[in-house]
Each structure stands twice: as structure tokens, then as C-alpha cells.
Amino acid sequence: MSDVRPASGARVSRRRRERPIVVCQECHRRKLKCNKQQPCDRCSKHSTPLKCTYAPDIEGRHRVLSENAHSHSRDEPDKAPSYISGAARLGSPPITPAMESPGPTADAYGSLPHARVMAWWHLIQAWQSVALRSDPYGIATLQTCCLVIFMRHIYNLDATASLHSSNALVRNAMIAGLHRDPALTDYLPSPDDLKLRQHLWYTILELDLQSSMDDGIQPS
């Protein structure tokens, strides 16, 4: 309680405003710690996400936050959110050499400084060499090699090694068994894993075809 004395001299009592409860009603009832999400971690672990409700004013806050997170994609569908890095905005490689962009550092979102592109390129090559030594036939390594070839095409980086990289990628993919029918092998992947392996194999073949067309020779 705090007293405020106005100019007239009378004492007026002003009550402090109570702080709102910022935990869900289920955690508040059970006196548990709540992470203030919708649903919170404890309600999710106890399989009671429908019981994870907040006071009306807190529910409004969650709704406003959710609407703000999705309003960007509705209002500006062509603009990438701020949390997407520039490296994730790289476009697809040209289908034919005639479709290549005129500049080595130009993309659909503008031009990047060549020094920055080269810095990324050296870091990616260093990471790729480590991955190829540790797990050359892993799915993650094969996917990374595809992205490296994409970047090589987009920014015209070390074009003379493009065909060698695609040939090595095809060889590693075949050693990993991506070209084989899982029904004829002992390994039976899940439907999602099977779809991923098929798309990865087709992507590797397309990259090898693209590199072969650029060099004017038959693909692997």
C-alpha cells in the first residue's frame, strides 16, 4: 500500500496493481514450473496438451505472438524472413550453360561481395574435406556435396573441378547403395527414408549430367 498526498492535503490510498499469472492453469494448480509455451513442456510430457490453458489476457498474448510470426509470410511471401541466412537463399544451378548468370556473384536477391563468397567457399571446402574423411558415404555428407556443387555452379567457383566432384559424388552414392532397389537388399528403410534416398540419387545424377554438359563429355 502506498499513500499519495494530493494538493488539497487529503490522503488517498492507491492499491498496487497485482501482477498477472503468467503460467498455465494446469501448472499453477499443481504448483509446477511452467515454460510459458502453448502447450508448455510439462503438459506435453504428461499427454495433456488440451489442458494447457492460460488466463484470458495470457491467451491473447500467445495469439498475438503466433499471428505476428505468420503475418510476415502472408504479407510478403516473396521476402525471406530475417532468421534465414544468406547462405540458405542460394538459387538452383542453371539447367543449361546458356542460362548462367552473367556475374560470378549475382543471385536472385542481389549481389554478394566476392570476398564474402570466397570466404564462405574456403570454409565449406574445409568442412567438406573433414566430412569426406570421417563419413564419405553418409546421407548428410552426400547432401552437403550436392550443396557444394550447387554453390560452385551459381558463383562459378573452381569450374574446372566441377566434373571431378560430380564423378566422385556418383561413385560415393553408388557405394552407399542409393542406386539399388531396397527390396533386393537386406536394408529396408522407412517410407520417408526411401523417398529421401531416391530424391538424393536423382539429384546426384542431374548434377553429374549438368557438369558433363558443361564439359562436353558423357556423364558417369
User: In this predicted model, what pLDDT tens digit does every residue of 91-140 receive, in sequence order?
Assistant: 444 444 434 444 444 444 556 788 888 888 888 888 888 888 889 899 99
**Percent of the chain whose predicted confidence (pLDDT) is above 90:** 12
Nearest one of 86, 219, 216 to 154, comparing CA atoms: 86
- Report whether pLDDT(67) > 70: no
In 3D space, the residue among 155, 158, 142, 130 whose CA is nearest the CA of residue 205 turns out to be 142
Q: Decide which of 4.10.240, 3.40.50, 2.60.120, 1.10.3470 is the CATH code for 19-73.
A: 4.10.240
**Helical pair 162-175 and 191-215, crossing angle rounded to 10 deg:** 150
pLDDT of residue 15: 61
**Does the structure show a pLDDT above 90 at 50?**
no
CATH 4.10.240 region(s) of the chain? 19-73
pLDDT reported for residue 217? 66
Kindly list the distances between the CA atom of residue 110 and the CA atoms of 13, 80, 93, 106, 121, in Å, as whole numbers in the listed order: 62, 13, 16, 6, 18
- Lowest-confidence range among 40-49, 147-156, 194-203? 40-49
Cα-atom radius of gyration of the chain, to the nearest Å?
28
**Cβ(58)–Cβ(28) below 8 Å:** no
Mean pLDDT, all residues of the chain:
70
| Helix, strand, or coil (residue 95) | coil
Spatial distance between the Cα atoms of 193 and 69, rounded to a whole number of angstroms: 30
Residue 13 reports pLDDT greater than 60:
no
Q: In terms of pTM, does the model score above 0.75?
A: no
pLDDT band at 162 (very low <50, low <70, confident <90, very high): low
